[in-house]
Amino acid sequence: MYLHLIPLVLSFSFLCAAYQVPVLDADYSRQICSGMWANENTYINVTFEDASQGQLAMVIYEWSDVQYLGKITSFTDDELPQKTYVCTSNALAGGFCTQAEMGKFIIDLPIGKYLNSTSFWTARVELPANQTERSDASVASSDGSFWNNPDGNPTPPADNHTTPWRRSLSPRADDLNPSPDGLYSYSQPIQYFVRKTGYYCVAMIPVTLQRSEEHATYKGTVFFQNTFDGMLPATDYPKVNFYFAMFLVYAAFGAAWAWLCYQHVQELLPIQYYLSGLVGLVIIEMVANWAYYRYLNHNGKGTASTVFLIVVAILDAGRNSMSFFMLLVVSLGLSVVRESLDRTMLKCQILAGAHFIFGILYAVGIVELELESASALVLLMFVIPLAFTLSGFLLWILYSLNATIAQLRARKQRYKLSMFENLYRILLFTVVVIAAFFVVSTLSFSGRLAEDYSAKSWRVRWWLLDGWLALLYLVAFAAISYLWRPSANNRRLAMSDEIAQDEEDAEDYDLESMGQRGRVPDEDDDDAATLVGRRDGAVADDNVVFEIGDEDDDDEEEAKKRRRRLSGEPRSAQAEDERRGLMHDGEETS
């Protein structure tokens, strides 16, 4: 019983911090639903303004009990059941409800199941402006027929908001939200306690008063008080904690990246400067997303929240566009295979700009649109343009990456080749995951018009729309950044070619590389010392990227020739001719 004695003052103190949905007699939909995260302090409150008048049939319930709401009265040509939801004179005449249920929602329970063992709270509610000197409970149903309250009690007790009536139909004595008998006179917010996480609905349908014969008019608000204090719906609140956690992860990642850049500041490549800027942009974006949902939770939607949303959308679209642009120019081989992209760079910039614009439209639309009520054409207008630019980026990146890999493989650039092959694997993994989630999301949203779509998807909708994409981006971004992380060898990796390890591979190199292989480096020639290594086999410094072994020890053919010379074996005719030619050239030179 202590739950029913909770002072309403406590509930009013939280009204300003609850998810609020306005209700109006002119609303097309007579039902308000929302998911709720529950604990011992959660509830639903329904309030009406003083100017509201008339009588309402009202019901509050959890969606798992929707099968019991209304009674099947007929079937369509497609054998689909048609239900009657409110007890009127016609429904009474047809035997679909009882006299005690007149003006209320019909609850059709199976034998052995009681109303108080379900989540239903149902009542015939009289609104404030209509509570003046009533001597009976005569009201008219929607078809104009009249009836009287059978128990002779026109109104519930004066303290009905603190001591709700109990129904005698249930053997249980610990019912949390008992439904009142007779006419419920509204004087305080109607409070419904929620102790189980689920999808809850509030439905109301006006009935006509006998005396005035006017349609009931009302204006009010439904408050959903969740486990958290705030104005966000339960389906969006997980984003607050999610984006805060993402901010912490990116902040730690950014600190590690900054330390690597500081250690190798003299060896940074242009792509690493771009990556540094992108790391900072992503951190700012995560903070902005977290702050945006925190603001919505405290203040609700308004002009300021719309401006905030546009800022967040710009940051999100900018991050995505910059990421794809960088992947594309890297895949084209900029700064590693090519010095510049010439006119191709302009095409990359145009594609990035288009993706940026469509990304803003998608980010704004996905928040502002109601998926259940928006038409498929409107949804496609936001999704298809972004899908085209995204597909263009992915196809171009994969095609360019394949071409760069083929070029590096032909030039025997094994170290660079391994980096680009790993990049290819990361992107392929990303595409596969995106395709898989696209199928899952399509299957999920294909049923968005179903009656139970929201009830089944409210807990995971944020994950399908935002969460998995943000997490996938984190994984791919971290993996790619690890490949291109700052190190002491970056500059030589970008500007130099790897020296071949055998004579067969050396034939594929240009004259400059072959010349560097045969040249003895000077002591001041850092690049030559680094690329080739010292002839005596000692390493020049810690920055050696591609070192070859001592040719006197590693070249088996040269060793055999030395053994022939030492043993006095005759030279081959070809070798003898080469020797004489060299001697003849030397004499002419002298």
Average predicted confidence (pLDDT) for the chain: 74
Phi, psi at residue 184, to the nearest 5°? -95, 115
pLDDT tens column, 298-317? 988 888 888 888 888 889 88
Reported confidence tier of residue 220, pLDDT bands at 50, 70, 90: very high
Residue 169, pLDDT score: 36
Residue 337 pLDDT more than 70? Answer: yes
Residue 373, pLDDT score: 59
Amino acid identity of residue 242, one-letter, is: F
Least confident segment among 134-138, 394-398, 577-581: 134-138
Render the burial of 237-254: b for 16+ CB within 10 Å, e for the rest. bbbbebbbebbeebeebe
Residue 292 pLDDT more than 50? Answer: yes
More confident: 514 or 322? 322
Residue 493, pLDDT score: 64
Segment (H or E) for 493? helix 490-495
Residue 167, pLDDT score: 33
Residue 44, pLDDT score: 94
Chain length of the chain: 590
Residue 242 pLDDT more than 90? Answer: yes
Q: Which of 10-14, 552-556, 561-565 has the highest mean pLDDT?
A: 561-565
Q: What percent of the chain has pLDDT over 70?
A: 67
Beta-carbon count within 10 A of 518 CB: 7
Rounded to the nearest 10 degrees, how much is the dihedral formed by the CA atoms of 547, 549, 555, 556? Answer: -130
Residue 202, pLDDT score: 94
Q: What is the pLDDT averaged over residues 35-56?
A: 90
Residue 361, pLDDT score: 84
Distance, CA of 296 to CA of 9 (rounded, Å): 25
Residue 336, pLDDT score: 74
Report residue 374 as tokens. Answer: 């928006």
Residue 21 pLDDT more than 70? Answer: yes
Q: Which of 2-11, 367-376, 424-433 has the highest mean pLDDT?
A: 424-433
Residue 551 pLDDT more than 60? Answer: no
Q: What percent of the chain has pLDDT over 90?
A: 23
More confident: 383 or 57? 57
Q: What is the DSSP letter of 267?
A: G
Residue 383, pLDDT score: 81
Residue 525, pLDDT score: 46
Conformational region of residue 342, where left means phi above 0, alpha means psi within -120 to 50, and beta covers everything else: left
Residue 367 pLDDT more than 80? Answer: no
Residue 149 pLDDT more than 50? Answer: no
Q: Which of 134-138, 257-261, 579-583 has the highest mean pLDDT?
A: 257-261
Reported confidence tier of residue 449, pLDDT bands at 50, 70, 90: low
Reported confidence tier of residue 492, pLDDT bands at 50, 70, 90: low
Residue 173, pLDDT score: 41
Amino acid identity of residue 154, one-letter, is: P
Report residue 7 as tokens. Answer: 């002072």
Residue range 238-491, CATH number: 1.20.1070
Conformational region of residue 18, where left means phi above 0, alpha means psi within -120 to 50, and beta covers everything else: beta
Q: What is the DSSP letter of 69?
A: B
Residue 158, pLDDT score: 37
pLDDT tens column, 460-473? 888 887 888 889 99
Q: What is the pTM of this model?
A: 0.69
Residue 354, pLDDT score: 92
Least confident segment among 277-286, 418-427, 478-487, 552-561: 552-561
Domain assignments of the chain as residue spans, ordered by start: 2-225, 238-491, 522-560
Reported confidence tier of residue 154, pLDDT bands at 50, 70, 90: very low
Residue 250, pLDDT score: 96
Residue 360, pLDDT score: 85
Residue 342, pLDDT score: 81
More confident: 508 or 487? 487
Residue 496, pLDDT score: 64
More confident: 338 or 284? 284
% helix, strand, coil for the chain, step of 5: 50, 15, 35
Q: Which residue has the tokens 């730690």?
A: 252
More confident: 238 or 270? 238
Residue 147, pLDDT score: 31
One DSSP character per residue, 195-240 reads -S-EEEEEEEEEEEETTT----B-EEEEEEE-SS-SSS-TTTTHHH
Reported confidence tier of residue 413, pLDDT bands at 50, 70, 90: confident
Least confident segment among 103-117, 139-153, 368-382: 139-153
Q: Which residue has the tokens 């007779």?
A: 182
Provide the CA 554 distance to its chain's centre, in angstroms.
56
Conformational region of residue 43, where left means phi above 0, alpha means psi within -120 to 50, and beta covers everything else: beta
* Distance (Å) of CA 128 to CA 140, 153, 207: 18, 18, 15
